[in-house]
Amino acid sequence: MQNPNTDRELILNAIRQNLPQQQVEHPAIPVFARPGRPLKPDFERNLQEAGGAAHDLKSPAEVQAKLEALHPGAKVVCSAVPEISGTRRAESVQDPHELADVDVGVVRAQFGVAESGAVWLTQEDLVVDGLAFLSQHLIVLLDPEQIVPDMHEAYRRVQLNETAYGCFMMGPSATADIEATLVHGAQGVRSLNVFFLPPV
C-alpha cells in the first residue's frame, strides 16, 4: 500500500482536489482563405527545394519505365502498390530486416501538402513501416487531385483514430549537422521521387 504522506502523493492529491469543474472547449481552428491558384506547382516547387522531384505520368507502364530510367541498376524493387509488381511484394515481408537489401521502395501516399511538398503515409500505405526508411530510394505515387494547400488542411484529413502509425515525408533524408554541409541520404532514403498518377 502506498504511503499517502509521500511528497508525490501529496502533490497528486492536491491536483485531484483542484481540478477545474467547468469543461473547457478546445479552441476552434478557423478555415483560412486559400489562394485560388492550382496547388500542384507549389507542391512540385517545395518538394524540389526539399531535395525531391515530381514527374507527371499517365499509366502504370510509364511508371515502370520511369522507375527503370531513374534506377537502372536496381535489383530489388519492393512494391506496396498494385500498379507496380516489383521483384518483392511488401505484403510478403515478415520482418523489417528483410528490407535491408531493397534498392527501391514503391508506395502510394494518401495526399500531398502544397506548402511543404510533403506526403502523408500511414502503415496501411507502407504495409511495412520500415519500407519508407530502409529503402535506398523511394518512389511515391500520388493522385494530383489529392493535394491540400497547407498543414491546417492536412490535419483535417489525418485520421489518427484509424491507423496506429503515420508520418509526413518531405524529400529524401537530409542533415547539415557537420560543417553546415547539406547531405542527402544520411539516415534514410537517398532519393525521393513523386510520380503523379491517379489510382487505377
Structural domain containing residue 67: 40-196
Identify the CATH number of the domain in which residue 159 sits. 3.40.50.10420
Q: Which three cell numbers stand for residue 40?
A: 500542384
The reported pTM is 0.82
pLDDT in single tens digits along all 200 residues of the chain: 456 568 899 999 999 998 888 888 888 878 888 778 899 999 999 999 999 999 999 999 999 999 999 999 999 999 999 999 999 999 999 999 999 999 999 999 999 999 999 999 999 999 999 999 999 999 999 999 999 999 999 999 998 889 999 999 988 888 877 777 877 767 788 999 999 999 97
Residue 29 lies in a domain: no
Domains contained in the chain, number: 1
Residue 17 lies in a domain: no
Residue 30 lies in a domain: no
Distance (Å, whole) CA 78 – CA 72: 15
- The per-residue DSSP string of 83-98 comes to S---SEEGGG--SGGG
Residue 113 lies in a domain: yes
Residue 117 lies in a domain: yes
